[in-house]
Amino acid sequence: MTSPHLSGPQLLPEELKALVRTVPDFPHPGIQFRDITTLIGHPQGLAASVGHLALLAAAAGARKIAGMEARGFIFGAAVAVQLGLGFVPVRKPGKLPIVTIGIDYALEYGTDRLEMDPGAVGPGEKVVIVDDLIATGGTALAAAQLLREAGAEVSHALFVIDLPDLGGADRLRAAGVKVDALMAFEGE
């Protein structure tokens, strides 16, 4: 779907990558944390990131955009607005005031849960997942499974940042989800 608001991004992904701040040893020693607050605080950087993601979502045939709490809301909702599509929030437990469907998923240490409104998507509706970062892929994979359980077709997931050494994009691909990211940080 094209929108009159869809225009070409002004900054290239390489220029956007330079706007991501790296914070060493956070939250644990040896971790290189990729902080997007510097990217979203830069007006042209945020607009270009959303523009690139919107072009990819439009090419994927998105009918709705889904984003996971919390930073997926930033990029996903902006992409949905740019494309003139609805946005599906995939929430942490207990945040929706209705009966929800949910999925539990494994984290490095323990488990977590995602929930959504089961009526947020129609049967066979093409939903593209948008999030800020793909690391191990647990949250994105759980979101894809949850959206599919609700009846959506989920064949694409888009990210601002990929940490390919952590294998999340490969996990999504193995589950039949095509993955695109605007930038990658190797070795993390």
14, 21, 69, 71: which is the annotated catalytic residue?
A: 71
Q: Note the residue count of the chain.
A: 188
Residue whose C-alpha is closest to residue 179's, from 164, 160, 161, 157:
157
In the residue annotation, 63 being an active-site residue is answered as no
Helix%, strand%, coil% for the chain, nearest 5: 30, 30, 35
DSSP state of 98: S
The Cα–Cα gap between 69 and 48 comes to 21
108 belongs to the catalytic site: yes
Which residues are known to be catalytic? Answer: 71, 108
